[in-house]
Amino acid sequence: MFIQTEVTPNPATLKFLPGRTVLGKGTMEFTGPSAAGRSPLAVKLFAIHGVTGVFYGSNFITVTKDDSDWQHLKPAILGVIMEHYMSGAPLLTDGDGSGETTTDNDVEFFEEADAETVTLIKDLIETRVRPGVADDGGDITFRGFKDGVVYVNMKGSCSGCPSSTVTLRNGIQNLLKHFIPEVVEVRPV
C-alpha cells in the first residue's frame, strides 16, 4: 500500500491520500480525542503526540498538528493509516461510512423569502467551491444567509488556515457576488 501526502495552504495540516475511498459520502471532522470515539482510525491518530485534528473526505484524510514538526509526525501518521487499512478495520464503528453528521451547530438559518437565493448560493458552493476546497484538504458548507451575508462553516485544512480569509474574500465572496447580486459578504462561523 502506498499513501501519498500533499501539502495544504494551511501549514498546520497535511493531506494523506491512501489510494482508496475513505468516506463513502460527505465529510467528517474530529476536533479532539473525545469526539473520535466512533472512528478507530481517528482514535489512533489522536494517540500520536501533536495531532490536534482529523478530517475525512471522500478519498483523503487531513491531519492537523500543534507546533510539532511534520518531520517527526508524518512517519507515525503514515504508519497508523497503513496499519488501519491493512487490518481491514471499519472507518466508523457505528455506520455505513458516510459523513455529514448534523449537530445543533449545523442547522441552517435564512428567511423563507430568501429561499430561492439560498438555493443558488448552495448550488454555487456545491459545484464551484467545494471541489477546490477539497483539493486543499478541507470542506466548506453553507450555514446561513441574512441581510446579504452568507455564513459558511470551514472544516479540515480550511479551519484555522492563515489564507482562509483571503480565500473567503477574494474567491468565494467575489464568486457569489458575481452571480447573486443580493450577496454582499461571506463570513465564517
How far apart are the C-alpha atoms of 78 and 74, rounded to whole Å? Answer: 6
Specify whether 72 is located in the same domain as 147: no
Residue 17 forms part of a structural domain: yes
How far apart are the C-alpha atoms of 49 and 174, rounded to whole Å? Answer: 40
Is residue 101 scored above 70 in pLDDT?
no
Specify whether 67 is located in the same domain as 109: no
Is residue 105 scored above 60 in pLDDT?
no
Which residues 6+ apart lie within 8 Å of 7 measured at CB? 14, 15
Instruction: Tell me the pTM.
Output: 0.82
Specify whether 182 is located in the same domain as 114: yes
User: What average pLDDT does the structure give for the chain?
Assistant: 89
* Predicted local distance difference test score (pLDDT) of residue 156: 83
- Give the model confidence (pLDDT) of 141-155 as tens digits: 899 999 999 999 888
Is residue 109 scored above 70 in pLDDT?
yes
The CATH number of residue 164's host domain is 3.30.300.130
* Predicted local distance difference test score (pLDDT) of residue 169: 77
Residue 98 forms part of a structural domain: no
Is residue 160 scored above 90 in pLDDT?
no
How far apart are the C-alpha atoms of 27 and 30, rounded to whole Å? Answer: 10
* Predicted local distance difference test score (pLDDT) of residue 137: 84
Specify whether 14 is located in the same domain as 78: yes
The CATH number of residue 13's host domain is 3.30.1370.70
Specify whether 63 is located in the same domain as 115: no
Q: What residues make up the domain containing 50?
A: 4-87
User: Residue 104: pLDDT band by 50, 70, 90 thresholds?
Assistant: very low
* Predicted local distance difference test score (pLDDT) of residue 102: 42
* Predicted local distance difference test score (pLDDT) of residue 103: 45
Residue 96 forms part of a structural domain: no
| Helix/strand/coil for 32 | coil
* Higher per-residue pLDDT: 159 or 179: 179
Give, in order, the Cα–Cα distances in Å from 49 to each of 70, 72, 75, 157, 177. Answer: 12, 10, 12, 19, 43
Closest residue by Cα to residue 133 from 154, 162, 149: 154
